A and B are shown apart, each in its own frame.
Chain A
Amino acid sequence: MKNVRRRYIAIEIDSNEAFDSREFMDAVWSAVSKLYGEYGASHCGLTLINYDLEKQVAVIRTVHTSLNMIRAALASITKINDKLVAMHVMSVSGTIKALYKKIKKQPI
């Protein structure tokens, strides 16, 4: 079986409100399935790895072939529970360790 190449994405959640991890993931799943349908969403292998409620930073995992789909879906999110929100990809990496190293250098 072919080894699955994964990508870890750090996301900055830009909003005046705070959202919990469930609301965040619901919004991401909803955006992916709206743009690419349930069939497309099933290829993404989307998983939440970490969610920092205080810093409003989330780390998700996807397969490398779906990275652009996830980027587009994240960019298309404008609201969570009718509250304005923008999600910006901070960094993308092939390992969690490298991802945390990268985002440590960036100001949030």
Chain B
Amino acid sequence: MKKIYADLHLCPNLKNVEHITKMINKASRLGYNTVGINLYQNYNEQEIRKLQGISEEANIDLISRIDLKPKTPRELIYNLRKLRRRLEVIAVICESKNIARHAAKDRRVDLLNFPSLDFRRRFFDKAEAELASNSLTALEIDIKPLLILDGPSRIRLLSNLRRETIIAQKFHVPIVISSGVSDIMLMRKPKELVALASLFDLDEASALKAVSENPTLIIKRNREKLNPRFVAPGIRIIREGKDC
């Protein structure tokens, strides 16, 4: 069966339609079937429909996604309550340990992203992995820093990613590999992302899962939940009316 590849983290300039179109077309040309575009918090439905029109032309499935950067757990909960029923994927950029722990605990969070290059500010440790594993939250690894960094900073990042992937695999936390780019020239094919994942010792089978099965599973699960006929996992309204 042909694999479905997904890049859940594209960050085009949302004010520039031409840039979005170019990025979606390139993603389609590179072999992706699904792309997630990072929206800002005050997006409107009209903008999403416009993006969907562009992606339909490119024959690609578009995912609405948002990166939350809360400063307090309270802000995180408020945003999750506001956005969870409207967007397909929610990622949390964990910039403090408190936020990382709350995000990992919350079932409404799909992806945990650790942008910091500093070893002490990357909070994906065993405790975090255990919480994430229980709430089905995935660890998202952006490839962009691997492409733009050089020398000692890239070495340090690779070492951190190696440690984090080992922990994630040990605790069965799904890993999602995304590009995280805003520049078209930094976009890579799915198999190139898999090859880059070998730099932090992620085996080929797991890396392939991280660009295909794991993101697809998150999308499928969330789309099912967003369906008005969804009641609870495994329970759906099939028919309504007096004759039921």
A-B pairs with beta carbons under 8 A, tally:
45
* A→B interface (CB under 8 Å): 14-15, 34-35, 68-69, 71-72, 74-76, 78, 84-86, 88-89
**What residues of B have a CB within 8 angstroms of the CB of A34 in the complex?**
150
**What residues of A have a CB within 8 angstroms of the CB of B198 in the complex?**
68-69, 72
Check B1 for interface membership: any CB of A closer than 8 A.
no
> In the complex the two chains form, is A89's CB within 8 Å of B185's CB?
no
8 Å CB contact of A78 from B30, B148, B196, B204: B148
> In the complex the two chains form, is B186's CB within 8 Å of A86's CB?
yes
Check B65 for interface membership: any CB of A closer than 8 A.
no
> In the complex the two chains form, is A75's CB within 8 Å of B192's CB?
yes
The 4 closest A-B pairs by CB, nearest first: A71-B195, A75-B192, A72-B195, A84-B185
8 Å CB contact of B199 from A15, A72, A78, A84: A72
The residue on B at minimum CB distance from A15 is B185
**What residues of A have a CB within 8 angstroms of the CB of B187 in the complex?**
86
Check B105 for interface membership: any CB of A closer than 8 A.
no
The residue on A at minimum CB distance from B31 is A88
**What residues of A have a CB within 8 angstroms of the CB of B204 in the complex?**
68
The residue on A at minimum CB distance from B199 is A72
Check B189 for interface membership: any CB of A closer than 8 A.
yes
Check B188 for interface membership: any CB of A closer than 8 A.
yes
Q: A76-B146, A76-B147, A78-B148 are in contact. Are A86 and B188 (CB under 8 A)?
A: yes
**What residues of A have a CB within 8 angstroms of the CB of B148 in the complex?**
78
